[in-house]
Amino acid sequence: MSASSRTCRYLLYFANEHIEFKIAELKSLASLYNIKLDLHEACIDKKDPFLVVDLPSEDGAIQIMSRTLLVRSAYELWGQGKSHEEMYRNLAAFHTDRMAPYFSANTTFKIMVESFNKTITQKEKVQRIEELPQDILKFEGKVNLKNPVHIFTLMEYYGHVGTTPPDKPLAVYFGRWICDGQRDKISYFNLQKRHFIANTTMDPGLSLIMSNLARVKQNSLVFDPFVGTGSLLVSAAHHGAYIIGTDIDYLLLHAKSKPSRARQKKRASDESVQANFGQYRLESQYLDVLVADASCHKLWRPMIHFDAIITDPPYGIREGAKRVGKDAEDEEKSSLQDEFPKRIPRLRDYHLSDIFLDLLDFSAKHLQMHGRLVYWLPVDRLDYKEENLPSHPCLQLIANCEQVLNSKVSRRLITMEKVREFQENGGMTARVEVDHYQDATFRERYFRPTNLTNDEDN
Amino acid sequence: MKLITHNMLTSNIIKGVTKGYPLGIIPRKVEVKDVDYNPEFLARMIPNMDWSAVCKAAKDVGHDEGLPKEIAPNFTENDEFLKAAHHVLLEIDVVEGDLVCPETGRKFPVSNGVPNMLLKEEEA
Ligand SMILES: C[S@@+](CC[C@H](N)C(=O)[O-])C[C@H]1O[C@@H](n2cnc3c(N)ncnc32)[C@H](O)[C@@H]1O
């Protein structure tokens, strides 16, 4: 019946953050909802926050927006051009029947003006609105600035952030605002308010993006083999998943490790991974966390298949081992001696690339068909090449997005999908063409982003 | 530890063990918690459950009363069965106790609801 049942052009206005991830996230969400999306990726300028897409329906746009962290807002595109004049001409060619309902005298509306990479004054904004062609935009409804039924936006693009903006915009868009994405969840899941954190807790924006790349949905069963404080699984549960995690660090899972917040001497008695789910009323989706070595795949019955595996692997198994050695001197620890294995398997030499090969082998076996593995791979930026990526005959690479940490080091968010059934004895094992981590000093060169250090609370 | 998780775990991680399933449970403290009932999720999970292991675990923790011995044939539409499955799989929580390898008797302690499946180096 309505306009929403026809293919139409939509404008996605992306946030200027994690731009390397935006296309991968968009494609994952489109495939999650079975929405046809044709992108000419080679032509996409990631630094341009505006992207015009054809979608089968407005409902599709709304579904994508119900999950995206990287698209700020979606608009039904009414007109676009390289100048205001070209945009007006384009607007004149837009379906009048699609515009008509919004011109009704019985409705209320407002028009906004936004500019990217240039600040424009309120006066200029008013002027831009007055210049809009009134013979095309025949608004008859009342203007309501506080609480309009419909919002229209004129957007001007003045080039990449940090470049000198030209006098005239490089691109101009006019559209009807449909809805915003999920950027408000970044503050909702803010770590400063999180009950249980450690210095490796993932920031909420990135962990929600990971869950989007993994296509987590209602009733998914999701596993994090290196669960830590469960930050990735909180995001998955927010998207409707039931979650399980393992971690080798007994003290961490029992919230007996050193607190990560400055000014906190001891962890509260009720700190736990589970408490993080209770905090967001996601407790019903918390299944369990276990103290276990993720390299022991036989812990899981062969029948068990996860819909997604989302994880931030340790960048050196020995780091954890050191921590145990140090904590063993605490008196608090001695009460745990009985349960705490004195010699822990992780003390053996577990080569860094083996962690990733193990993870792929595990995923090939224990992912549901078309289930996804999403994980971080730390790399030396100068040495990194495609051949460093671990591969597996059952897993197809979907996305490989770089997050730069400093001039030398970055981490890559890898998304893989299970596309072939795993067969025992089928010679199906993970491999890597060129080992990126041969150089044992890699770990020393690598250090984590400092966004989660103790000054967090200040 | 919930019984849904118990149903997924084996002790085949121990060197030489091949029949490490299902793990026995020696409960010391078991709690029953309220979990939102979600028939769609249960209907997804039940086909992958080893139901005889569910029944045995329920018995080990003393919550097998009224539990169907088999998966109902039309379980996705059988609300009574799904509710029983919901209770046993998701609401019963082993807070303190041991999981026991059926082949070797090796115990894995559960404390604060968290099983410890770590092995000593010579066991792995
Ligand atoms: C980068 S952290 C993950 C942090 C997690 N995303 C969070 O929200 O806190 C890696 C974790 O892997 C754990 N780990 C190290 N070796 C392991 C192993 N062999 N098996 C399971 N977990 C391991 C560490 O104890 C650490 O908590």
Q: Give tens-digit pLDDT for A220-238.
A: 999 999 999 999 999 999 9
Give A206→chain B minimum CA distance, Å.
26
Give B66→chain A minimum CA distance, Å.
23
Instruction: Report the chain A residue with the minimal C-alpha distance to residue B35.
Output: A284
Instruction: Name the residue type at position A134.
Output: Q
> Is A333 in the same domain as A252?
yes
> Is A325 in the same domain as A347?
yes
Judged by CB atoms closer than 8 Å, whether chains meet at A288 and B1 is answered as yes
**Last residue within a domain, chosen from A130, A154, A182:** A182
pLDDT value at A326 more than 60? no
> Is A253 in the same domain as A141?
no
A313: left (phi over 0), alpha (psi -120 to 50) or beta: beta
Q: By three-state DSSP, how is residue A9 classified?
A: strand
Give B107→chain A minimum CA distance, Å.
11
pLDDT value at A6 more than 60? no
For the segment A387-398, the average pLDDT, to the nearest whole number, is 96
Residues, chain B: 124
Nearest to A219 among B8, B44, B119 (CB): B44
pLDDT value at A449 more than 80? no
**What's the rounded Cα separation, in Å, for the pair B99 and A106?**
68
DSSP A372-424: EEEEEEEEETTT--GGGS-BBTTEEEEEEEEEE-SSSEEEEEEEEEE-S---T
> Is A36 in the same domain as A141?
yes
> Is A223 in the same domain as A356?
yes
**Last residue within a domain, chosen from A132, A154, A182:** A182
Mean of all residue pLDDT scores within chain A: 88
Q: What is the pLDDT of residues A146-171, one digit of tens each?
A: 999 999 999 999 999 999 999 999 99
**Last residue within a domain, chosen from A138, A165, A182:** A182
Q: What is the pLDDT of residues A31-55, one digit of tens each?
A: 999 999 999 999 999 999 999 999 9
pLDDT number for residue A53:
97
Q: Decide if A452 is inside a domain.
A: no
Distance of CA A356 to the CA centre of its chain: 20
Q: What is the pLDDT of residues A434-448, one digit of tens each?
A: 888 775 555 555 544
CB A20 within 8 A of CB A73: no
**What's the rounded Cα separation, in Å, for the pair B13 and B23?**
12
- CATH at residue A439: 3.40.50.150
Judged by CB atoms closer than 8 Å, whether chains meet at A284 and B38 is answered as yes
pLDDT value at A329 more than 80? no
Residue A147's Cβ-count burial label (10 Å; 0-12, 13-18, 19+) is exposed
Q: Decide if A1 is inside a domain.
A: no
> Is A401 in the same domain as A419?
yes
Chain B interface, Cβ < 8 Å to A: 1-2, 4-5, 7-10, 12-13, 20-21, 35-36, 38, 40-41, 44-45, 48, 50, 90, 109, 111-121, 124
- pTM score: 0.91
Going by pLDDT thresholds of 50, 70 and 90, the confidence category of residue A3 is: very low
CA of A248 to the centre of ligand 1 (A): 7
pLDDT value at A24 more than 70? yes
Q: In angstroms, what CA-CA distances link A82 with A49, A79, A158, B52?
A: 15, 11, 11, 68
Judged by CB atoms closer than 8 Å, whether chains meet at B119 and A296 is answered as yes
CB B42 within 8 A of CB B86: yes
Give A302→chain B minimum CA distance, Å.
9
Query: Strand pairing of B24-32 and B92-100?
Result: antiparallel
Max CA separation in chain B (angstroms): 49
Q: What is the pLDDT of residues B32-61, one digit of tens each?
A: 999 999 999 999 999 999 999 999 999 999
pLDDT number for residue A442:
57
**What's the rounded Cα separation, in Å, for the pair A332 and B113?**
20
- CATH at residue A72: 3.30.2130.30
Q: In angstroms, what CA-CA distances link B73 with B52, B68, B77, B87?
A: 15, 12, 10, 19
CB A158 within 8 A of CB A116: yes
Instruction: Report the chain A residue with the minimal C-alpha distance to residue B89.
Output: A287
- Site to substitute for ligand 1 among A248, A260, A327, A452, most atoms within 8 A of C-beta: A248
> Cβ < 6 Å from ligand 1: which residues?
A 198, 200-202, 225-226, 228-232, 246-249, 252, 293-295, 312, 314, 317, 320, 346
For chain B, give every domain's residue range: 3-123
Low-confidence ranges of chain B (pLDDT < 70): none
Judged by CB atoms closer than 8 Å, whether chains meet at B41 and A219 is answered as yes
The percentage of residues in chain A with a pLDDT greater than 70, rounded to a whole number, is: 86
Which residues on chain A are in Cβ contact (under 8 Å) with B109?
Answer: 339
Q: Minimal CA–CA distance to A348: which of A320, A315, A372?
A: A320
Count up the domains in chain A and report the number: 2
> Is A56 in the same domain as A202?
no
Q: What's the CATH number for B3-123?
A: 2.20.25.10
Q: Where are the alpha helices (DSSP H) in B39-115?
A: 39-45, 51-60, 79-86
pLDDT number for residue A353:
83
Give A285→chain B minimum CA distance, Å.
8
pLDDT value at A215 more than 60? yes
Going by pLDDT thresholds of 50, 70 and 90, the confidence category of residue A354 is: confident
Instruction: Identify the helix (H) or strand (E) that includes residue A320.
Output: helix A317-327
Q: What is the pLDDT of residues A243-298, one digit of tens each?
A: 999 999 999 999 887 777 777 777 777 789 999 999 999 999 999 999 999 999 99
Instruction: Identify the helix (H) or strand (E) that includes residue A77.
Output: strand A71-81
Instruction: Identify the helix (H) or strand (E) that includes residue A31.
Output: helix A22-32
Q: Minimal CA–CA distance to A197: which of A241, A257, A154?
A: A257
Q: Which atom of ligand 1 is nearest to the CA of A249?
A: 25
Q: Decide if A2 is inside a domain.
A: no
Candidate from A364-368, A387-391, A453-457 with smallest mean pLDDT: A453-457
Residue A354 lies in domain: 187-447
Q: Decide if A3 is inside a domain.
A: no
Chain A interface, Cβ < 8 Å to B: 218-219, 221, 242, 244, 246, 248, 250, 253-254, 272, 274, 283-284, 287-293, 296, 298-301, 303-305, 339, 341-345, 347-348
Nearest to B121 among A283, A290, A345 (CB): A345
Going by pLDDT thresholds of 50, 70 and 90, the confidence category of residue A324 is: very low
